[in-house]
A and B are shown apart, each in its own frame.
Chain A
Amino acid sequence: MKIPQELRFAASHEWATEPADGIVTVGITDFAQDQLGDVVFVELPEVGRTLAAGEAAAVVESVKTASDINAPLAGEVVEVNGALLDAPEAINTDAYGEGWLFRLRVTDGDAWGGLLDADAYAAVAEEG
């Protein structure tokens, strides 16, 4: 199970990159994609939508189940990964790369530091 050290995580299994010019990239973790199984459908938020931290922002559906994906931080959606609409399996094959879901202009640049670091998330994932 891959947990990149440079990312921060929500307990609900999303990752976020460190803000660069106030923008973070969000996706789901390798652990989450493995639990879900083969992803066959993704529903992405609209660009321009404002999200609260923890608000349901996207839906990732595998063959067996649908899962809400929450915004790990508050902010405005500035970009979504439209390539996933035709190739949702990128979430399985490259959860931290081509499987990214959306980018947020975060409301509070310091909030990222309050998310789980890799070690803390590893403990969460271990509990399931």
Chain B
Amino acid sequence: MKQTPLHDEHVALNGRMVDFAGWRMPIQYPTGIPQEHLAVRQDAGVFDVSHMVQLRVLGPDATAFLSWATLNDPAKLRPGQGQYSMLQNDRGGLIDDLYVYRDVDESFLVVANAANVDAVLGHLQALVAAPTPGPFRVVVRDESDAWALLAVQGPSAAAKLDRLVDADLTSIRKNRLVDTTLSGMPVRLARTGYTGEDGFEIFCRPVDAAAVWRLLLEAEVTPCGLGARDTLRLEAGFPLFGHELDASSNPLCTPFAWVVKDKPAFGLEALRAGGCPRRLVGIVLEGRGIAREGYRVLDEAGAEIGRVTSGTVSPLTRTSIALAWVDAAHADEGARVAVEIRGQPVAATVTPPPFYRP
């Protein structure tokens, strides 16, 4: 089991450590998941996401290669800009979802999910070498060991971080990446996140990670674990690979169809040919209960029309919310459905995410 550079910090804070994608990670601290969730919605929280994968895609054909290999369009990125993207297979589904940053002209930083490192790296390297439309003059390498990654999120995140860094954070727009120093330590700040709130992801040297973490805690940023990260992203309506998205998920049938740009790309024809017999939707329960992953979604006559992929009770609104893949005939906003909880149908309504907007 791998440990992030912040492992001892989590243990010192009595974080409850669990195994996640091959890593020992804190699911929560004694504060508890609902309080960590509220800290991010109302103030600021910090997450250790050093388990995430950082890949370098470098070479004269880097833009052309990523344009072919991913669904968003990296050609639109200027140096220092990033975009949410997806890595598609050629069977009408996905290998992972990604963040792609253009560092300098033909050098990109690609952030992927820890659980998928081997699949993503293997797929990209195979595509680089493929005779058509490659081979591309590109090197893809894993530089995850060079980075620790901390996400500072919440309405007060920018103000609290601003006192620690040399950059003027007001000048950093969403999805921008800048190099600066934090209390003298070199860091890269990206104005992105996975909570629906404003905030930054801080790439730093592993050797500096504990110092950055402690400075943030001294600035009264609440340490948050993977549990709150999950409830926050669900409330914000973001997908989690392995739950909402997998090898058979057509992104064109999700609220994230905007990612797919109109340009030649590996596997794109399979996505377009697949159609949308089912769609990924948000669901709000009217009755009581939690719609957990794998629970059946029913139509009003009680027939199965889909399955829940993630569900929780919003710590903010106490509403029971979920994401689910359902038959297209029941996927329109306002459609009346039910979720089967312990054998009983609980009434629910199809509601486009996000379930919460800051």
A-to-B contact residues, CB < 8 Å: 37-38, 40-41, 43, 59, 61, 63-64, 66, 85, 89, 92
**Which of B16, B28, B315 is A40 in contact with, Cβ under 8 Å?**
B315
**Which of A38, A61, A85, A89 is B290 in contact with, Cβ under 8 Å?**
A61
Complex alpha-carbon distance, A41 and B312, angstroms: 10
Please determine whether A40 and B34 come into contact, CB atoms closer than 8 angstroms: yes
**Which of B32, B292, B320 is A37 in contact with, Cβ under 8 Å?**
B32
Q: Is the interface of B mostly helix, strand, loop or mixed?
A: mixed
- Residues of B in contact (CB 8 Å), total 17
Complex alpha-carbon distance, A43 and B315, angstroms: 18
Distance to closest chain B CB from A49 (angstroms): 15
Q: Which 3 A-B pairs have the closest CB atoms?
A: A40-B313, A38-B32, A63-B33
8 Å CB contacts to A: which residues of B299-329? 312-313, 315, 320
Distance to closest chain A CB from B315 (angstroms): 7
Residues on B with beta carbons closer than 8 Å to the beta carbon of A43: 288-289, 342
Please determine whether A63 and B227 come into contact, CB atoms closer than 8 angstroms: yes
Residue from A61, A63, A64 with most neighbouring chain B CB atoms (10 Å)? A63
Query: Which residue from chain B places its CB closest to the CB of A40 in the assembled complex?
Result: B313
8 Å CB contacts to A: which residues of B10-33? 16, 27-28, 32-33
Query: Which residue from chain B places its CB closest to the CB of A89 in the assembled complex?
Result: B34
Residues on B with beta carbons closer than 8 Å to the beta carbon of A40: 34, 290, 312-313, 315
Known A-B contacts A41-B288, A66-B292; the reply to A59 vs B342 at CB < 8 A is yes
The yes or no answer to B231 lying at the interface (CB within 8 A) is: yes
B-to-A contact residues, CB < 8 Å: 16, 27-28, 32-34, 227, 231, 288-290, 292, 312-313, 315, 320, 342
Apart from A40-B34, A43-B288, A66-B290, what 4 extra A-B contacts exist at CB < 8 Å?
A: A38-B33, A43-B342, A61-B290, A64-B227
Complex alpha-carbon distance, A63 and B28, angstroms: 11
Residues on A with beta carbons closer than 8 Å to the beta carbon of B312: 40, 63
**Which of A59, A63, A66, A85 is B231 in contact with, Cβ under 8 Å?**
A63
Distance to closest chain A CB from B45 (angstroms): 15
Distance to closest chain A CB from B20 (angstroms): 12
Complex alpha-carbon distance, A127 and B183, angstroms: 46
Residues on A with beta carbons closer than 8 Å to the beta carbon of B27: 37, 64
Complex alpha-carbon distance, A41 and B285, angstroms: 13
